[in-house]
Structure 1
Amino acid sequence: MIINRYLIREIGKPLAAILGILVALFASYSAAGFLSEAVNGLLPIDTVAEMIGLKVLISLEVLIPISLYISVVLAFGRLYGDSEFTAMFALRITPARVMGAVVSLSGCLAIVVACLSLGARPWAYDKLHELSRHAELTLDVNAMEAGTFYVGQHGRRVIFVTHRDGPASPAQDVFVQVWHEDHTEIVHAQLAYPLSQTTPNGGREIYLTDAHIYELGHDDDHPDRALSAQGIVINPDSRDPAPPEYSSVAASSAELARSDSARDIAELQWRLSTPLSTLLLGMLGIPLSRARPRQGKYEKFGTAILVYSGYYLLCTSARTWVQHGVVAAFPGIWWAPALLAAFLAFSLAGPALGMKYRRSRA
């Protein structure tokens, strides 16, 4: 038990550091896009932190396996380089005992990843899509700048401001186009500024002066109309949100299991493969970290990164092929983990087989 705790602790220290760094990097990358949309008025600033958190939660199913894999390579590379494994094997600590410690840690993390993939992932995607739909309907008009087209609701709404002195100041020469099912509404006003009170959905109504409103019908049942007003109040967020479209990534795992759609099958197999990949990658770190005493501790790090990159590319490619029907539901994406398992078996048994072969030749 002392040896097991020691090995797990040696893996756990770099695991926590690497996972923390990867999460911070991914959160920063996600924040860059969300903050730019918030600055441009396309995304309410109060939802940015929530959306970043959801993106990080979704990414954990990938970040945890790679963090575990790198941690095993780094920790065991150090133990090999400092001859600690040589001392352990001399004290009759078998390689199977070492493998058992890694498998126990990898198994626990695989259970965590399974919960994230099968439960947290669809919930996070559903919540993220809900926030995105709400953001499309709610504009931060105070943050709008002149000279920029603000397009929302999948192109159904366009707003352009010709001149504005700064945030919260009146806008001059304003153009608004809103697409409805039966007509297109175009509004042009000389002056516009947001009212102080907020709407029920958190947006702001806008007061327009010297406004011209045109309704262009899409068929003969809806004739074209024009209206001019010295002053009028409009709500650019007044459109009801469109019904949410079905998305495989946001569907529950039980719903995916009942579906025969190629996209649903690929998504379910991806969710089931992530805990398996976690276990296999944790075990693969052992043979890839092997080094001679006093050999460079991080000499195998580059090889380990190349192996993981190749495996991740295979998994994502296999998932895409299943989604588009290029590969059937069976073997689906399972051939990628099968290749990794075969590579793991060869890496574990290769040195012993090579030594046995050399002995037979001698």
Structure 2
Amino acid sequence: MIFHQALRRELSFTTGGVFLVLVTIMITTLVIRILGFAANGAVNPEDALVLIALATIGYMAVLLTVSLFVAVLIVLVRWYKDSEMIVWFASGLSIASLIRPILRFATPLIVIIALLALFVWPWANRESTIISQRFKQRSDVSMVAAGQFRESAKAERVFFIEELDVDKGEVKNIFSAETKNGRLSVAVASTGFIENAAGGGKSIVLNNGRRYEGLPTQPDFRILEFAEYVTNIRNKDALEPPPRDREKTVMELLNEQNPRQLNESRAELLWRVGLPLMALGLVLIAIPLAYVNPRLGNYTAMFYAVLIYLIYSNLLNLSQNFVSQGKIPVFVAAWPIHALAFTIAFLLIRNRINPSLKWWRRQLPSFLANR
């Protein structure tokens, strides 16, 4: 019981520490990426924090899987290195006795990973897509703001209004630049007003201003004075795009009726179900993988851990792609990778139970191995 309490306490602290480190790295990467999108005009800078939070929440299942695997490995490696496992073995316990307390600690986290993968992951992806699409589909009406230069969604028009009276619909000191058919048109006026057109559209009417059209270095450059100039504002409804596979709920994936989307939906469901199974397989593999000779005290187990995780996750993604392309049925691709991981974990644990025997004898039952 004392061993179990110490193991649970160390696993809790280590998992929390590793998780915080991974979240910090993830947030730093997302900040750089999303701020780059905001600088390029792909997303609204005001939505950057929301998009970073949604992306972090979406990848929480993957981060928890890695944190759990690394935490079990770090704790057991330290126990071997500090000869605490010698005390464990001297108490009449074997490496197989570690499975139950570690699984007791890992099971709630694996359940959380499953919930995050099945429900939170599609919700976060869907919300991020909606926010991004609404910014891309924004109407030019949203550009009308006093004292600010506003660019249209397709970067073809720029507005500047110094003063805006919303109640009266009047504007003052208007600047409008538009690129059309490769020609630049700039209109300026001291006064104007917003006019509601038929069909719900809007336009800005400029009074007593000037219009500059063309390039100053070209012979067809023109300067026009006008008494009234109308600039139409396209008022578009922000339409929600159809959800992608990674944005669909579990029920939508299960009830998919479109034959063209059937394989993609099954592949997405395969990945979501496979993530908690991968977490369980990695935890079982980490128990025998953490063995370290106390006299040597090296950390080669960490190298193997990184290699195993990369192979496991890439195989899971590869099976998802094969199912998505229709090369492998989903029921065939669902079990071999996880069955292989559990088999490897079983063989490695059997290997560590009695290391004095040859590797092939360790796989035999005890009454045969001792002959």
Deviation at 1:98, TM superposition (A): 1.7
Following superposition of structure 1 onto structure 2, how do residues 108-187 of structure 1 map, counting pairs within 5 Å?
108-138=108-138, 142=148, 152=153, 157-159=154-156, 173-175=177-179
Deviation at 1:112, TM superposition (A): 0.3
Q: Tell whether the 8 Å contact from 1:212 to 1:229 is kept in structure 2 after alignment.
A: no
Give percent identity, aligned residues only: 22
Deviation at 1:350, TM superposition (A): 2.5
Answer 1 or 2: higher relative contact order, Cα 8 Å, separation at least 6: 1
Q: Tell whether the 8 Å contact from 1:266 to 1:333 is kept in structure 2 after alignment.
A: no
User: Radius of gyration: which is bigger?
Assistant: 2
- What is the TM-score of this pair, normalised by structure 2? 0.74
Q: In 2, Cα distance between the equivalents of 1:143 and 1:173?
A: 11
Q: In 2, Cα distance between the equivalents of 1:192 and 1:337?
A: 67
Aligned partner of 2:243 in structure 1 is: 246
Aligned partner of 2:165 in structure 1 is: none
Aligned partner of 1:337 in structure 2 is: 338
Q: In 2, Cα distance between the equivalents of 1:229 and 1:2?
A: 89
Q: In 1, Cα distance between the equivalents of 2:265 and 2:351?
A: 38
Q: Tell whether the 8 Å contact from 1:188 to 1:211 is kept in structure 2 after alignment.
A: no
Aligned partner of 1:325 in structure 2 is: 326
**SS of 1:295 mapped into structure 2:** coil
Q: Tell whether the 8 Å contact from 2:43 to 2:135 is kept in structure 1 after alignment.
A: yes
Number of aligned residue pairs:
319
- What is the TM-score of this pair, normalised by structure 1? 0.76
Deviation at 1:254, TM superposition (A): 1.4
Asked if residue 88 in structure 1 is aligned to residue 88 in structure 2, the reply is yes
Listed as ranges, the gaps of 5+ residues in structure 2 are 159-172, 195-201, 214-225, 362-368
**SS of 1:249 mapped into structure 2:** helix
Q: Tell whether the 8 Å contact from 1:109 to 1:278 is kept in structure 2 after alignment.
A: no
Q: Tell whether the 8 Å contact from 1:125 to 1:249 is kept in structure 2 after alignment.
A: yes
Asked if residue 47 in structure 1 is aligned to residue 47 in structure 2, the reply is yes
Q: In 1, Cα distance between the equivalents of 2:75 and 2:149?
A: 49
Deviation at 1:335, TM superposition (A): 2.2
Listed as ranges, the gaps of 5+ residues in structure 1 are 162-168, 178-185, 198-203, 214-227
Q: In 1, Cα distance between the equivalents of 2:210 and 2:183?
A: 11
Q: In 1, Cα distance between the equivalents of 2:188 and 2:94?
A: 77
Deviation at 1:137, TM superposition (A): 2.3
Residues 239 and 212 of structure 1: is their aligned pair in 2 closer, same or farther, counting only changes over 3 Å?
Answer: farther
Aligned partner of 2:167 in structure 1 is: none
Worse-matched range after superposition: 287-296 or 107-116: 287-296
Deviation at 1:171, TM superposition (A): 6.6
Residue identity matched to 1:190:
V
**SS of 1:175 mapped into structure 2:** strand
Deviation at 1:301, TM superposition (A): 0.8
Q: In 2, Cα distance between the equivalents of 1:10 and 1:324?
A: 44
TM-superposition CA deviations, 1:42-86 (whole Å, max 9, x none): 422221111111101111111111111111111110100000010
Q: Tell whether the 8 Å contact from 2:284 to 2:342 is kept in structure 1 after alignment.
A: no
Deviation at 1:93, TM superposition (A): 3.3
Residues 279 and 302 of structure 1: is their aligned pair in 2 closer, same or farther, counting only changes over 3 Å?
Answer: same
Aligned partner of 1:165 in structure 2 is: none
Asked if residue 257 in structure 1 is aligned to residue 258 in structure 2, the reply is no
Aligned partner of 1:291 in structure 2 is: 292
Residues 135 and 229 of structure 1: is their aligned pair in 2 closer, same or farther, counting only changes over 3 Å?
Answer: farther
Q: In 1, Cα distance between the equivalents of 2:324 and 2:212?
A: 48
Q: Tell whether the 8 Å contact from 1:315 to 1:336 is kept in structure 2 after alignment.
A: yes
Q: Tell whether the 8 Å contact from 1:172 to 1:192 is kept in structure 2 after alignment.
A: yes
Q: Tell whether the 8 Å contact from 2:157 to 2:176 is kept in structure 1 after alignment.
A: no
Aligned partner of 1:222 in structure 2 is: none
